[in-house]
A and B are shown apart, each in its own frame.
Chain A
């Protein structure tokens, strides 16, 4: 690490000792191997013909083919599923984070009657076994649909509503923690400058808690992105999401392993890219300098 001293690092004044560097090197190598192994298997399997994938594993594919990358679109309507997943997970994330920010602000900055009750109730919903309320929720949505004509079952809206609530308890709780760590003097100062409480939230708290908000947003997104159980009964073929749709590659007679892998990679690339972009904001918390 030749440039360690010059890089803007928290612990720069003293170079880290050997023991630290070696521990780090070994640890990171092992973890990288652990993380990369399945990814490598996915990539290599997605380039093999079906007969090879269902045979003995080979590190280096003996026959390379790009066919799975074309076949995936024929086997299931992958593009539709992808759009559904992005819309559902995206909307659920935005709404969940927004709702959570307001709630966390209230819990963090105000003393009001019922504050503890709210905090405990919200937290306890995180414990509900999904299996307990899968059927009731479905019934509820159907009844709402029958009574009002608002289609919550089988629709993206219903799924968005469900998922946004799934990540809400944790988001509220986590954000409350992050907001608590922002010195109160900052919003007091903003209020002196003439901001109302909502102004203080937007001008001071949110920018200062950006890393936390990004982390919570990623959590909300991934919760919605990967959910299988509710999606399997609450969607139909026009609203089906990826996590359920990918199962379409294993049919009654065949499992198209190579296509499963290819499809998983294709749909994951945009998400990983999105993570990459967001990471900048996560790191930005360090340089923003608002919190010291």
Chain B
């Protein structure tokens, strides 16, 4: 194949040649050694203040019996040992079972949402890579869902998903004649699909934006060379565009995953105080278990479990994707 000259060897040129090699340590005096730390300091301090310290406090709370009777002075709340955790993982009791169900729902939901967001975003970015009439308009239009305040966007969808007065049923039932009676979208089993649609609508422009930015960094010569070698558009996309996106995809997919998994705003605005079982995402579930029923100890324990899960998934993911990249390059 002629285009092997183009890819994949040259594609990673956008990234630096090899992880360790180019990173030449410079040891010209003490100032140089201090410099990276100085650069990191603001980020480090902020993370400490807003994330790390409160998280440690949160973990402490998960070991306390923190209910309405003790939140007035939480540092004096009685210690509960692992009680909160055993409540959360006792899958024979309703609380544990509900948590497990919510967790599984969230997993399925996240996989579907991230997949669709990535697919739509990448496809749109690739299709808009080349200039044609109307491209600029579409590019702006596609960012609109992202620019709307979350509350406004989601409440509009809630409005559209109303059974009797919403536009979705107006189209599906009244105009297309699907189903004998109009379907419910905000309660019952369909609520899962409603949530998925809203989540994708809100989330895909971000994938689009990121991929679009990444496409800017692919040297044009690569396409020109490929075209001279006779590679068609589809082939160019497959052999140049997609491989070049890999480093960005690694980040993008992980971020979309974490983001969707922890998403609170969407289900909260869409369903209000009590999400239907089919769309009971874990973050809302934990909110219910802490803020609505005033049991912050158990809520914190659930959050800690969630955090451990996400850490594990991320670790495995990074291990796999990074190794995958190394072997493909070798």
> Residues of A at under 8 Å CB distance from B?
1, 3-4, 7-14, 16-17, 19-20, 23-24, 27-28, 31-32, 34-39, 41-42, 45, 54-57, 85, 99-100, 102-103, 105-107, 109-112, 115, 118, 121-133, 135-137, 139-140, 161-162, 164-166, 168-170, 172-174, 177-178, 180-181, 183-184, 197, 211-212, 214-215, 218-219, 222, 225-229, 242-244, 246-247, 257, 260-261, 263-264, 267-268, 271-272, 275-276, 279, 282-283, 285-286, 291-292
Stretch binding the partner chain, chosen from B33-41, B81-89, B90-98, B184-192: B33-41
With A41-B159, A129-B286, A279-B140: A180-B25 Cβ-Cβ less than 8 Å: no
CB contacts under 8 Å to A, within B140-164, are 140-153, 155-157, 159-160, 164
Closest A residue by C-beta to B52: A125
Candidates B37, B61, B136, B210; contact of A215 at CB < 8 Å = B210
Q: Is the CB of B255 within 8 A of A8?
A: no
Q: Are B219 and A292 interface neighbours, CB within 8 A?
A: yes
Which chain B residue lies CB-closest to A115?
B36
Q: Which residues in B have their C-beta under 8 angstroms from that of A264?
A: 148-149, 152-153, 155-156
- Which one of B61, B130, B157 has the greatest number of beta carbons of chain A within 10 Å? B130
Is B78 an interface residue, CB under 8 A from the partner?
Answer: no
Q: Give Cα A157 to B199, complex, Å.
A: 30
A20 to B212, CA, bound (A): 19
By a CB distance below 8 angstroms, the chain B residues around A222 are: 146-147, 206
Decide if A14 touches B148 in the complex (CB within 8 Å): no
Q: Enumerate chain B residues within 8 angstroms of A177, measured Cβ to Cβ.
A: 247-248, 251
| Other-chain residue from B39, B144, B209, B307 in contact with A102 (beta carbon distance below 8 A) | B39
Contact status of A45 and B159, CB under 8 A, knowing A14-B232, A57-B165: yes
Could you tell me the distance between the alpha carbons of A271 and B269 in the complex, rounded to whole angstroms? 21
- Indicate with 1 or 0, residue by residue over B231-272, a CB within 8 angstroms of chain A CB atoms: 011101000000000011001000100100010110011000
Task: Report yes or no: A20 in contact with B283, Cβ–Cβ below 8 A.
Answer: no
Top 5 closest pairs, chain A to chain B, by CB = A264-B152, A226-B150, A132-B303, A136-B57, A136-B54
User: Within 8 Å CB of A103, what residues of B?
Assistant: 39-40, 42-43
Known A-B contacts: A178-B217, A228-B265. Give 15 more (CB < 8 A): A11-B223, A35-B141, A38-B153, A38-B160, A107-B40, A125-B51, A130-B283, A131-B290, A133-B58, A168-B47, A181-B217, A260-B156, A261-B152, A282-B209, A286-B216
Report Cα–Cα, A24/B227, bound state, in Å.
Answer: 20
Nearest-neighbour CB distance to chain A for B50, whole angstroms, equals 4
Q: Which of chain A's residues has its CB closest to B19's CB?
A: A180
Residues of chain B with a CB closer than 8 A to A282's CB: 209, 212-213, 216
CB proximity to A under 8 Å, residues B49-108: 49-55, 57-58, 61, 74
- Chain A residues near B209 (CB, 8 Å)? 215, 218-219, 282
Is B213 within 8 A of A271, CB to CB? no
Q: Which residues of B contact A (CB under 8 A)?
A: 14-16, 22-26, 32-33, 35-37, 39-40, 42-44, 46-47, 49-55, 57-58, 61, 74, 120, 123-124, 127-133, 136, 138-153, 155-157, 159-160, 164-167, 170, 201, 206, 209-210, 212-213, 216-221, 223-224, 227-228, 232-234, 236, 247-248, 251, 255, 258, 262, 264-265, 268-269, 282-283, 286-287, 290-291, 296, 299-300, 303-304, 306-307, 310-311, 314
Whether B265 and A17, one on each chain, are in contact in the complex, defined by CB atoms closer than 8 angstroms, is no
Checking B47, B148, B218, B255 against A125 with a beta-carbon cut-off of 8 angstroms, the contacting residue is B47
Distance of A118 Cα from B261 Cα, bound (Å): 23
Assembly CA distance A135 to B123 (angstroms): 40
The main secondary structure of chain B at its interface with chain A is helix
- Docked pose: A271 CA to B143 CA in angstroms: 10
Contact A165 B51 (CB under 8 A): yes
A173 CA to B247 CA in the complex, in Å?
11
C-alpha spacing A165/B40, complex, angstroms: 14
User: Inside 8 A of B248's CB, which chain A residues have their CB?
Assistant: 177
CA distance A132 to B138 in the complex (A): 39
CA–CA, A225 and B51, complex, Å = 19
B160 touches A41 (CB 8 A): yes
In the complex, A120→B148 CA distance in Å? 32
Residues of chain B with a CB closer than 8 A to A279's CB: 136, 139-140, 143
Contacting residues, chain B, for A36 (C-beta < 8 A): 141
- Docked pose: A9 CA to B35 CA in angstroms: 41
Contact check, B311 vs A215: say whether CB atoms are below 8 A apart. no
Neighbouring B residues of A118 by C-beta, 8 Å: 40, 44
Asked if residues B132 and A1 are in contact (CB atoms below 8 Å), the reply is: yes
Q: Which residues of A contact B165 (CB under 8 A)?
A: 54-57
In the complex, A276→B201 CA distance in Å?
19
**Contacts of B265 on A, CB cut-off 8 Å?**
226-229, 243
